[in-house]
Amino acid sequence: MSLQDEVELSALDSVLEPFLGGGRPALLPALHAAQRALGYLPAPVLAQVGAALRVPLADIQGVVEFYTLFSDQPLGERVVRICTDPSCLVAGGEETLIAACRAAGGIHPGETSADGALTVERATCLGLCDQAPGALVDETALAQAAPEAVEGLLRGEGTAPTLRLAGDPRIVTRHIGLIPPTDLDAHRAAGAFEGLHHALTALTPRQVIETIKASGLLGRGGAAFPTGLKWEFTRAAESAPKYVVCNADESEPGTFKDRVLMEGDPFRVIEGMAIAGYAIGSEKGYLFVRGEYPHAAAVLQEAVEAARAAGLLGRSIFESGFNFDIEIRIGAGAYICGEETALFEAIEGKRGFPRVKPPFPTTHGLFGSPTAINNVETLAVVADILLNGPDWFRAWGTERSVGLKLFCASGHVKQPGLVEVPFGLTLRELVERHCGGFDGPPQAILMGGAAGGFLTPDQFDTPLTFEDLQAAGVSVGSGALMVFNQTVDLRRVLNAVAHFFAHESCGKCYPCQLGTQRQMEIVEQGLEGRARPGDAERLRLIGQTMTDSSICGLGQTAGMAVMSALRLWPDLFAPSGAGGGSVKP
């Protein structure tokens, strides 16, 4: 070890001081702090982290190897990550990645330039689908990162993302863009924390739960589990302590709704978590933000500190005797952590492996305790329901699909962005009324993200409800809809999806670990014109096996897009190469 290395390691003492003796739960924050200070995480750094936290070195090494954003090898002075998932792919993300690698000295994705100045990496979805291609340069997000702008991109220069909003009525998003995100006084003047005040001064925890149950609010993260029922189960669990967890690990390609909410109106999410805490009997909440959202994490941290300073978090909120506080936790690049139990593992300082269920989080969640885990969008509407009543919420939507929903429109629409509308609007109406119409003759919409399914133009009049989309063979999912016009070779889209799942499979269960790899290989061969007889049937069998046998939702949905495409276009991966160019049913 050189003298310079020893000097750098000695500087790590002050970095790790806040985490001393913190054990595994402090591991991810400590690793983030160490990598931010030194640039990467070599063995001597990991040893020092282990000594400070009292965590075995072998456990730490396993965590570093699991998460994409941690590196035990030197990185460039600037790290440039460019998204090539479906929406960015069709907007030129692959071309931008190639141009960046060439400009960095002819390196390949994942390599560092010879002078050590630049590392260029292929990124999974960065939540900038409406402003594609998206890029993340160190901790700065850049939108519309076109190949011709690559020189500026490598210097960290480019177009800052904006919050693109549409819809009618706008309830959850009504303050975004009108009130500075972290101006607590302005948000309170507009009604922030009135829902929490009402709950603490006028309602019992049971009444809060009954109000949410009566509203019909279903989880907005994709699983659509009744929110009030989840809170009821958690409150009824006998053991303590209890936790509230906000799942802000938004990693589904095509999805960016939670990022917009967190960056544009963070107090709405914080208030929803506090109400959930009161309802279930919890004094501690964790808000887990994906590592690719550094700006959202910073906005949330500032908002939490402001709320705490104003007495809206902490001890005896509104002098009610109710105590509740929130800790921000930042992920490190793992789609699997969007699965609730894998997210618990990450907070606990472990690799993000999903747990076998049952037991369920409502009785055995974070740290083995009863836990209510909800999506950002779910928590964002809770205060309005308490203030206005369940009938107010039920006035929108249908009997089975109640209320308003945020949809993420990207791809070939003229005005991509986040759209807030009542359930029941059709796909066509959403695009034509709120997204400026289709950009070129549409070929298909991938509904629900990479884990979703395709709809063709004859299905665009399908109402956006749980029941109608299910009947059409797809799901609401995360609310993503990626539109592809007739110029797109859908095999390229499926290749991106297949690579995404092969990269993101955690490897815990065999059907997903092997199935995603084989799916990727077959899809890639078909794209390259090397399809073999029987490939379509192999893809169907692989997809069905993953669906039936995988432990968690990742493997259970990893073959959905491919199987959906094969139902619509059976010759997509035929040996003759049928389906090249614009693929039509």
pLDDT at 128: 98
Task: Give 298's contacts (C-beta < 8 A, 6+ positions apart).
Answer: none
- Sign for the pseudo-dihedral over CA of 180, 185, 188, 193: positive
What's the rounded mean pLDDT across residues 235-241? 96
CA distance 220 to 234: 18
- Helix ranges restricted to H, 143-265: 150-154, 184-189, 194-202, 205-215, 227-236, 257-264
Give the residue from 543, 572, 539 showing the smallest Cα distance to 556. Answer: 543
425 pLDDT exceeds 80? Answer: yes
Superfamily designation of domain 78-154? Glutaredoxin (3.40.30.10)
Task: Give 541's contacts (C-beta < 8 A, 6+ positions apart).
Answer: none
What's the rounded mean pLDDT across residues 280-302? 98
Indicate where the chain has its CATH 1.20.1440.230 domain(s).
Answer: 490-568
Q: Tokens representing 97?
A: 């990645």
CA distance 285 to 288: 10
Task: Give 453's contacts (C-beta < 8 A, 6+ positions apart).
Answer: 446, 447, 473, 474, 475, 560, 561, 563, 564
Burial class (CB in 10 A: 0-12, 13-18, 19+), 108: exposed
Burial class (CB in 10 A: 0-12, 13-18, 19+), 572: buried
What's the rounded mean pLDDT across residues 73-79? 96
Indicate where the chain has its CATH 3.40.30.10 domain(s).
Answer: 78-154
CA distance 298 to 20: 23
Please state which CATH number belongs to domain 490-568: 1.20.1440.230
Of all residues in the chain, the percent with pLDDT exceeding 90 is 95
- CATH architecture, domain defined by 396-485: Roll (3.10)
Tens digits of per-residue pLDDT, 362-421? Answer: 999 999 999 999 999 999 999 999 999 999 999 999 999 999 999 999 999 999 999 999
CA distance 476 to 471: 11
Question: At the top level of CATH, which class does the domain 166-392 belong to?
Answer: alpha beta
Task: Give 465's contacts (C-beta < 8 A, 6+ positions apart).
Answer: 397, 398, 400, 401, 423, 424, 476
Q: Are 568 and 455 contacting, i.e. CB atoms less than 8 angstroms apart? A: no
Q: What angle, rounded to 10 degrees, do the helices at 257-264 and 294-309 form?
A: 40
Indicate where the chain has its CATH 3.10.20.600 domain(s).
Answer: 396-485
pLDDT at 212: 98
Burial class (CB in 10 A: 0-12, 13-18, 19+), 399: exposed
Tens digits of per-residue pLDDT, 18-41? Answer: 999 999 999 999 999 999 999 999
- Give 5's pLDDT tier (boundaries 50, 70, 90): low
pTM for this entry? 0.95
- Helix ranges restricted to H, 528-559: 535-549, 553-557
